[in-house]
Structure 1
Amino acid sequence: MNIQKSLFGRMNDKDIYRFNLVNAKGNSISIINYGAAVISWKVKDKNERTRDIVIGFDNLEDYLKNDAYIGCIAGRYANRIADGRFTVQGTEFKLACNNGPNHLHGGITGFDKVAWDAKTVDDVNPRLSFTYYSKDGEEGYPGNLSVKVDYIYTDNDELIIEYFAQTDKATPVNLTSHGYFNLTGDADRSILDHSLQIHADYYTAVNENQIPTGELCAVDKTAFDFNMPAKISGQISKTENGFDHNYVLKHDGNKLSLAVVLTDPENELQLSVYTTEPGLQFYSGNLLDGSITNRDGKPVSKHAALCLETQHFPDSPNRPEFPSTILLPGDAFTSATIYKISVN
């Protein structure tokens, strides 16, 4: 993996850099240290045509005014926390609310809206390493949290994302990559004709505010059943508002397990997602409305891209029956996800 670095812009007197990760095939991924965001992923299809399979911008200004979490790392807690409240070790904490009555993706200034420190690590497994120090009280969270996110791009077109965090006070931690995918490389084409397979028998039921009720619902014979590959259009037509739901993955402990297979309409490119996380938020781009434009100037409209966010379940700090997201001093949060592109 070759890493190239160039200035992308400046924010609050801090330089924001673009890092271009190039593998032996000539395919490349670009990442900036604002939000540790993936802004481009260029791959060649079977006809040697280059496709950029993620939504992104070519300038920092568009990221600064963007509230759709395009390509970023979401945290300190990805997804929603009900009423922006939780209790840890007998103390209630109140978080910033930025999604109606709820806290979403770390709050008003989450990890997506900060400048991370970046360095390249040239060892046996070269990587691009981002670090961020989240101070005690930031967005209402307890504890000073040290976070590291490593990106590795292999010659087999695997984007490996490794997460690590430590704290000095008990605090919830849930990190994810919020990339928007369209395997055709054309934001004018809807993702509804993509084929999707999700290895999950259940999803977490939610109320009108997208907060889990605690019930795990079976996907069998419902719109949520993607255990066998299915066109998204056929399933989404059975829903009222599209997909923005957390799936309970079939999982082998903390081992990397296959969670998702996404295939483009022509069956030429395939994205496989492996993760150590117990959940996956599938978002079908329901709220994309054309108000933002992709790097090619095309508006990003409804269903122009989708998200496959590997994570723990929403509102886990208030749901003791869910896998715990509370990180304790002396322990380490670790997680890994692999996004692998294959050419059919």
Structure 2
Amino acid sequence: MTPDENREIFATTPEGDVVEIVTLQNGPATARVMTWGATLQDFRLDGIEHSLVLGSPVFEPYRTRMRNYGAIVGRAANRIAGGRAPLNGTTLQLETNEEGRTALHGGSDGCGYINWQLAEASATSARFAVTLADGQGGHPGNLALTATYSLDAEGALTLEITGTTDAPTFCNIAHHSYWNLDGTPTLDGHTLQVDADSYLAVDAHKIPQNGPAPLAGTRFDFRQPRAITMATDAPGLDHNFCLRDPGTVMRPACTLRAAGLQLEIDTTEPGLQVYDGSGLNSEAPGHTGKPYGPHAGVAIEPQHWPDAPNHPDYPQITLNPGQTYRQVSRFHVTRI
């Protein structure tokens, strides 16, 4: 497949944006990535009939109930309490796009909800680019982002995200695919193991209140493989795990298993947000031909910790002119 052959027009938005999809293939894997949100729209392994990520065969749902499915979200992924955050001696008031209470994923026009440019594509990789304007969602600075997806000969999907700014700003980017390895309506057949010994406990609004807490003895202890979904009276899972050996070097983050398949995720990021999909309701049919409901997929999001600007002891997300933000994450599905 030549570079021109693996590009197609997926849709045209009411505003006139042309949404393209590029199909990447290498080894046993095929990935389809669209320019809207630099979104992983479909990911398949040879011999497996279903997509391993939740998504839609048509574009319209990505503007409504499937806004975060596979998107790259930011410029400040996850939540900031009250939309208020200190930056260089001032307090920013960001858009509170989650029930008028918290700033979520960079606001209603964050990078997951706009059209990127397909800057470069080959048979096995594609680079997307977008610039978030000064003032977007209340954030200062023009933030230029790139996202490069590439498939290697093993079929592993690597995502490299970079960012530069012309004024101090926040930059915490996250890939937001929902994974389902067995193609069934729920995650009941899945187990998860996370390479973390601590997590951030949250309040009723999913805002962390303190520093890292030990996982031992909690519902969130995934140091050994265990089921994601639990009894209905168990606390929901939408929490940040504080990964071991923080730094800028790629290291294991988690392993998801179901139906003879396993997904291994490695990342440079200090945190891993895991959401069990309890609130999912796509309304529109997905890749399965039916709408996705609660627990249809699990979001596993390498990123920095939520509400970091309001917690000086957390890894910080400030990006200054002259610096380059860089995140690398690798998603590898194999048979076991």
What TM-score, normalized by structure 1, do the two folds share? Answer: 0.92
- Give the 3-state SS of the residue equivalent to 2:82 in structure 1: helix
Following TM superposition, by how much is the alpha carbon of 1:291 offset from its aligned partner in structure 2, in angstroms? 2.5
Kept in 1, the 8 Å contact 2:134–2:143? The answer is yes
Following TM superposition, by how much is the alpha carbon of 1:286 offset from its aligned partner in structure 2, in angstroms? 0.9
CA distance in 1, matches of 2:27, 2:154: 9
Alignment of 1:99-178 (within 5 A): 99-100=98-99, 101-122=101-122, 127-178=125-176
Kept in 2, the 8 Å contact 1:54–1:185? The answer is no
Following TM superposition, by how much is the alpha carbon of 1:150 offset from its aligned partner in structure 2, in angstroms? 0.5
- Give the 3-state SS of the residue equivalent to 1:139 in structure 2: helix
CA distance in 2, matches of 1:102, 1:253: 28
Taking a change above 3 Å as real, the CA distance of residues 334 and 49 of structure 1, as seen in their structure-2 partners, is: closer
1:218 corresponding residue in structure 2: 214
Following TM superposition, by how much is the alpha carbon of 1:238 offset from its aligned partner in structure 2, in angstroms? 8.4
- Give the 3-state SS of the residue equivalent to 1:208 in structure 2: coil
2:188 corresponding residue in structure 1: 192
Kept in 2, the 8 Å contact 1:223–1:239? The answer is no
- Give the 3-state SS of the residue equivalent to 1:70 in structure 2: coil
1:72 corresponding residue in structure 2: 71
CA distance in 2, matches of 1:67, 1:96: 21
2:97 corresponding residue in structure 1: 98
Is it true that 1:58 corresponds to 2:57 in the alignment?
A: yes
1:314 corresponding residue in structure 2: 306
Is it true that 1:31 corresponds to 2:21 in the alignment?
A: no
CA distance in 2, matches of 1:254, 1:201: 19
Alignment of 1:226-241 (within 5 A): 226-233=222-229, 236-237=230-231, 240-241=234-235
Alignment of 1:230-309 (within 5 A): 230-233=226-229, 236-237=230-231, 240-264=234-258, 266=259, 268-289=260-281, 291-309=283-301
Kept in 2, the 8 Å contact 1:23–1:153? The answer is yes
CA distance in 2, matches of 1:335, 1:272: 17
Alignment counterpart, residue 21 of structure 1, candidates 12, 19, 24: 24
Following TM superposition, by how much is the alpha carbon of 1:148 offset from its aligned partner in structure 2, in angstroms? 0.6
- Give the 3-state SS of the residue equivalent to 1:16 in structure 2: strand
Moved more, 236-245 or 204-213: 236-245
Taking a change above 3 Å as real, the CA distance of residues 201 and 213 of structure 1, as seen in their structure-2 partners, is: same
- Give the 3-state SS of the residue equivalent to 2:37 in structure 1: coil
Is it true that 1:329 corresponds to 2:321 in the alignment?
A: yes
- Give the 3-state SS of the residue equivalent to 2:322 in structure 1: coil
Kept in 1, the 8 Å contact 2:266–2:329? The answer is yes
Following TM superposition, by how much is the alpha carbon of 1:210 offset from its aligned partner in structure 2, in angstroms? 0.7
Letter in 2 for 1:133: T
Structure 2 segments unaligned to the other structure (5+ residues): none
CA distance in 2, matches of 1:10, 1:147: 23
Taking a change above 3 Å as real, the CA distance of residues 52 and 172 of structure 1, as seen in their structure-2 partners, is: same
CA distance in 1, matches of 2:51, 2:326: 29
Following TM superposition, by how much is the alpha carbon of 1:65 offset from its aligned partner in structure 2, in angstroms? 2.0
Kept in 2, the 8 Å contact 1:120–1:126? The answer is no
Deviations for 1:296-338, whole angstroms, at most 9, x for unmatched residues?
3212111111010000000001111100100011111011000
Deviations for 1:54-85, whole angstroms, at most 9, x for unmatched residues?
11011121212235411100011110001011
Is it true that 1:209 corresponds to 2:205 in the alignment?
A: yes
Following TM superposition, by how much is the alpha carbon of 1:214 offset from its aligned partner in structure 2, in angstroms? 2.0
Taking a change above 3 Å as real, the CA distance of residues 325 and 49 of structure 1, as seen in their structure-2 partners, is: closer
CA distance in 2, matches of 1:253, 1:182: 29
Q: How many pairs does the alignment contain? A: 332
Kept in 2, the 8 Å contact 1:8–1:16? The answer is yes
Following TM superposition, by how much is the alpha carbon of 1:252 offset from its aligned partner in structure 2, in angstroms? 4.8
CA distance in 2, matches of 1:289, 1:129: 31
Moved more, 1-10 or 81-90: 1-10
Letter in 2 for 1:110: G
Kept in 1, the 8 Å contact 2:24–2:124? The answer is no
Taking a change above 3 Å as real, the CA distance of residues 252 and 63 of structure 1, as seen in their structure-2 partners, is: closer
Kept in 1, the 8 Å contact 2:247–2:269? The answer is no
CA distance in 2, matches of 1:330, 1:313: 23
CA distance in 2, matches of 1:290, 1:18: 21
CA distance in 2, matches of 1:199, 1:222: 15
